Amino acid sequence: MWRSILAFGKSLLDSLRDLAPIILVIAFFQLVVLQQPIPNLAGLLGGTLLVTLGLTFFIYGLNMGLFPIGESMAQAFSQKGSIFWLLLFAFTLGFSTTIAEPALIAVAEEASEVAAEGGMIEASEQAMHSYATGLRLTVAFSVGLAIVIGVMRILKGWPIHYLIIGGYACITIMTAFAPRSIIGIAYDSGGVTTSTITVPLVTALGVGLASSIQGRNPMIDGFGLIAFASLTPMIFVMGYGMII
């Protein structure tokens, strides 16, 4: 009992140390640069306490739930030996986690405003809504596809940099042809798709697969799924902007 309380206290301290830089930065800019008092100090301290507790629980749960299940599923799939189901799982995981991602919803709405202002679509609410929904589906599809490509790469043992460099080349060529207003959003969309729950799960899946297949190194082959998931949305969003 005492031991687990002690362990919890220790991880609480770790989380506090992780958060200390943000608190210092905000305090410095508020007090020294902007020279204003900190508004609602009690609320700020309460919020910081919540953040610290939250981070502690999250890391606890990560090691108990998300990491083990990601790895055990990867092992189960490689024992089952059905590539079709593994790839379908990879696609569904990528698609379903992205379609509901709040950051993506926000970006899609902004993109529809840009498109309406640029005269690419009608400035009516309906046209903007359908544009935003189409964009969300496109990005979710591209993330699903990215995880599929990434899993294929682990299975076949392809070197990652050829695929990534190919992707970069594709983005560079498309940038020349895509409408200028979509480029910023497209580049940003690569970063917003991977959420806090998806990342540990997908990482565990990749590492689990690479360690259960003979001849694969979990360090060299296990990582890289997220890299694909942040690359393909850029290509697909620019493609979407070119077609519509």
Please list every residue from 116 through 135 that binds other proteins, using CB under 8 A.
117
Q: Which of residues 170-209 bind other proteins (CB under 8 A)?
A: 171-172, 175, 180-181, 183-185, 187-188, 190-201, 203-204, 207
Using the rule CB under 8 A, is 11 a contact of other proteins?
Answer: no
Q: Which stretch binds other proteins (CB under 8 A): 1-9, 92-100, 121-129, 131-139?
A: 92-100
Q: Is 242 in the site for other proteins (CB under 8 A)?
A: no
- Residue 146 and residue 166 in contact, taking contact as beta carbons nearer than 8 Å: no
Token readout for 6 is 């002690």
> Applying CB under 8 A, which of residues 12, 120, 216, 230 lies at the interface with other proteins?
230
Looking at residue 193, what DSSP letter applies? S
Q: Is 229 in the site for other proteins (CB under 8 A)?
A: yes
- Binding segment (CB under 8 A) for other proteins, from list 1-9, 119-127, 128-136, 222-230: 222-230
Instruction: Locate 53 and state its tokens.
Output: 């507790």
Q: Nearest approach, Cβ of 56 to other proteins (angstroms)?
A: 7
| Smallest distance, other proteins to C-beta of residue 192, A | 6
Among 109, 127, 218, 244, binds other proteins (CB under 8 A): 218
Please, where are the H alpha helices in the chain? 2-28, 41-61, 67-80, 83-99, 102-117, 125-156, 160-177, 180-192, 198-212, 225-243
Nearest distance in Å: CB 151, other proteins: 13
How distant, in Å, are the alpha carbons of 76, 132, 152, 219 from that of 236? 32, 14, 20, 28
Contact mark string toward other proteins, 33..72, x via CB under 8 A: xx---xx---xxxxxxxxxxxxxxxxxxxxxxxxxxx--x
Name the DSSP class of 64: I
DSSP code string of 200-221? HHHHHHHHHHHHHSTT--IIII
Only segment of 1-9, 125-133, 218-226 that touches other proteins (CB under 8 A):
218-226
First-to-final CA distance of the chain: 61
